[in-house]
Amino acid sequence: MNRNLSIALYEKRFVPFLYDCLIFVMFLPFGGIGNIRRETVNSFIHLPRKRVLEAGCGTGSMTKFLYESGCIVSAFDGSEKMLKRASSKVPNAKFSIGFIENYESEDTFDFVVFAFVLHELDEESRENVLEKYKRNLRPGGKIVILDHSVPKQGNVSRFWKWFLLKLEPPSVRICVENGYGDLLERLGFRVSEVRTLAAGTATYWIAEPESVQ
């Protein structure tokens, strides 16, 4: 699905506050979305004042964890409504509007973070986006992807996949069936860490371009 269409779908279906409520309830049986975000941030933020670009920040919930961990955060999203709520959560972060496929920044960062956003893009767009933001990494910089996944076994697995396919754009199927490891390696990244969270309902990948090691 085109990212612009995806933004329109979300703004039609969810006002930002209700979007936050949905995500909260959705992951509550698995320990909560806050724990998912916190564990992801803690996995790669070991020193303060790291420069981070968050792509597709939504309502700023991940941005808040990044900022409170001591990061210098720049974040953007294609939805003005989402950004308004995000800026109220993290007044000191730098927010700007832009769609993930065509947002331009001349700055470089220690980390570029994609939290629950890449599943909204088709496979070709995901490849283009990862190649694009590779250029915004400092030497030694890393891409961090946090996104939906499906538990491996049992009724929970079948229900969760069904639920995601009903809730999210059709492109989420590629995310939950394939993940991002193979895609990252195909694009010349070295995946340094993969970890499933919240009983397998979310997974993060941390990777760096081979050329900057």
146: left (phi over 0), alpha (psi -120 to 50) or beta: beta
Q: What is the pLDDT of residue 28?
A: 95
Q: Which residues have C-beta within 8 Å of that of residue 172, sequence separation ≥ 6? A: 119, 120, 148, 164, 165
Could you please report the per-residue DSSP string of 135-188?
TTEEEEEEEEEEEE---SSHHHHHHHHHHHHHHS-TTHHHHHHH-SHHHHHHTT
SS3 110: strand
Report residue 131: phi and psi, to 5°: -65, -40
- Would the pLDDT of 8 be above 70? no
Span 179-203, pLDDT tens digits: 999 999 999 999 999 999 999 999 9
In this prediction, residue 123 has a pLDDT band, given cuts at 50, 70 and 90, of very high
Contact 95, 114 (CB under 8 A): no
- Would the pLDDT of 14 be above 70? no
Nearest partner of 34 among 13, 64, 8, judged by Cα: 64
Q: What is the pLDDT of residue 158?
A: 93
In this prediction, residue 6 has a pLDDT band, given cuts at 50, 70 and 90, of low
Q: What is the pLDDT of residue 213?
A: 43
Q: What is the pLDDT of residue 97?
A: 96
**What integer is the mean pLDDT of 32-55?**
91
Could you please report the per-residue DSSP string of 121-137?
S-HHHHHHHHHHHHTTE
CATH number of 3-209: 3.40.50.150
Span 63-91, pLDDT tens digits: 999 999 999 999 999 999 899 999 999 99
Report the mean per-residue pLDDT for the chain.
91
Span 136-179, pLDDT tens digits: 999 999 999 999 999 987 888 999 999 999 999 999 999 999 99
Degrees (nearest 5) of the Cα angle 182, 76, 52? 65
Q: What is the pLDDT of residue 16?
A: 78
**What integer is the mean pLDDT of 45-58?**
88
Q: Which residues have C-beta within 8 Å of that of residue 189, sequence separation ≥ 6? A: 130, 134, 143, 207, 208, 209, 210
Q: What is the pLDDT of residue 5?
A: 45
Q: Could you state, in order of their start, the residue ranges of all structural domains in the chain?
A: 3-209
Question: Which helix (H) or strand (E) segment is 60 a member of?
Answer: none
Contact 152, 91 (CB under 8 A): no
Q: What is the pLDDT of residue 29?
A: 94
CA–CA gap between residue 182 and residue 161 (Å, rounded): 20
